[in-house]
A and B are shown apart, each in its own frame.
Chain A
């Protein structure tokens, strides 16, 4: 191959592939709005808050960003919104172990930011992030789950609490909660956390009385 032929291959080939890329980009642009909810004024205001505080300097969203702090794509699915709001405005008041600094996010800004995060959680991301294999498997090693264990999973308690090393770290660990609390305390606390723990960031457990009792029965087995 002569140098001139190699040069022409480089230039024309690059233009060819760029033309395909432009075509795909055009097609994609026409499809994006259908794969995500409508963008309200509040969602857009929340995006500006996201940029203003340079959130991406620590977090990732849709998996892109800085890998220093949790991915926020599904933040509003994983944590109650009340908890998120309190955390955004003063992280350590919601979770004393938090390493996020208090940035001065105002009340209204927090609401906007949560609306923005909620919008992101509803984008069709081709199934990302995938469900963890172990959590998706449900019962472990063929053992039937108790009613209380099933409720613990379906109510999403593990998003914040840890049992035997599995779960979130934003709430207190529950591995030995049965040794610390009795049944009545647990039931009362589920119904109204703030009455039992001052400034608790935990939301009320919205479930029928019978389920709350079953959940408490499961908790007292944890010793």
Chain B
């Protein structure tokens, strides 16, 4: 395994930043889990910790996807990147901007008055979930993403190959950039605030990001099992097509109870019920394509790719569809059921996707012929088993909350602090298990290809 174009090496810069932020995300996640048990644990309050937890997640996945794109586009276009120095500039500018935003969050966490509005704009934290980044950072983020898209587009223009994979990938990334804009203006009405906020959040994770995932899945299937381009691209179009057909109007499942008209109950209920279907196609696609594969060199890459397809369906699909009908969502909306869905969906759909891309492209970037995949498997099982149990404990907490608070009318705090305490304790324990998995992965990331090659390239299969 080796790269054909030197500029593909830029991907490793982005991966490294992503991996570091992944570790940060999980460490602050454990602090947050402990704050469910002891609310005053740690010098920063829960709101700051949670902001760091979800922002680190979004940013590391985005930088991971950027790195993957810088790898895929030269390969698909069969040429060097249009400008490597500009790509490096984009990388360092992103790192500086993100670091500044994080320092701002911590400063505000220590001194809330530091976030007092200046000319009607809060300077450190916008106080809007997921898009807490202040307005000046929004502008920098948009510039960075535009620069990133521009470099990739110019690269594609050099050879004009227009393959389906890179076209879909860049298409998804362009929608991603456009859908950031509805979160960048102030509205006096909290209803309109949340209406446009869902354009960003929903049309990212259940629209643009799934399109990107579809394109990368096709690329990975070609890479690890040598699947034929015509076949994977056709299925890719069908999958991402259904993602958009169901996902766009599926946004309606966020417009049931926020002050929006009643017809959204019908639109959201019908279309979001269909959202798991394209994710099921992807699972079927992954199995069908890989079942016949023999002599797979990169077994870790194959493993993560198939696992991504499965947990995308389970986390984003199944765990979403169980509470998507208005009749059920009326009782579960705003409870821990949503938290459970969020965790498994992000893990399956995007964490495993970026890790799979890393395991498929990093050996080539480092020019490694064969690598010992044992750490890759260890970290996979530590992370996956822990995440499944984290999600089961939060789902249990959510069911207790729905029953006791929503149906019986008990107080929120009584349910959280008494009846759900065991779930919080178990969740924190499994969180440590997840951290162990991440730790193994981080070690593997930094050491892959830098150790002596294993004496036997592949251990004989025992069946």
Contacts and interface: CB of A to CB of B under 8 A. Distances in A.
A196 interface: no
Contacts of A151: none
A62 interface: yes
Nearest to B45: A101
Contacts of B244: 10, 13-14, 17-18
Contact of B127 (A27, A53, A134): A53
Given A53-B112, A104-B112, A133-B408, A66 B47 contact: yes
A14 B241 contact: yes
A54 B107 CA distance: 13
Contact of B261 (A28, A103, A158): A28
B160 interface: no
Interface magnitude class on chain A: 35 or more
A32 B260 contact: yes
A20 interface: yes
Interface stretch (A123-131, A174-182, A185-193, A200-208): A123-131
Contacts of A52: 112, 115-117, 122, 127
B259 A36 contact: yes
Nearest to A33: B189
A169 B189 contact: no
A70 B238 CA distance: 42
B158 interface: no
Contacts of A76: none
Contact of B406 (A103, A123, A132, A162): A132
A17 B240 CA distance: 13
B129 interface: yes
Given A20-B249, A165-B410, A10 B240 contact: yes
B108 A54 contact: yes
Contacts of A170: 411, 413
Interface stretch (A43-51, A80-88, A141-149, A212-220): A43-51
Contact of B414 (A33, A60, A119, A169): A169
A123 B423 CA distance: 34
Contacts of A24: 249, 252, 263-264, 267
Contact of A47 (B125, B188, B334, B406): B188
Contacts of A58: 45-47, 50
B261 A133 contact: no
Contacts of A222: none
B75 interface: no
B189 A63 contact: no
Contacts of B40: 99, 101
Interface of B: 35-36, 39-40, 45-48, 50-51, 108, 112-113, 115-117, 120, 122, 125-129, 132, 164, 168, 188-195, 197, 230, 233-234, 237-238, 240-241, 244-245, 248-249, 251-252, 254-265, 267, 330-331, 333-336, 338-339, 405-414, 417
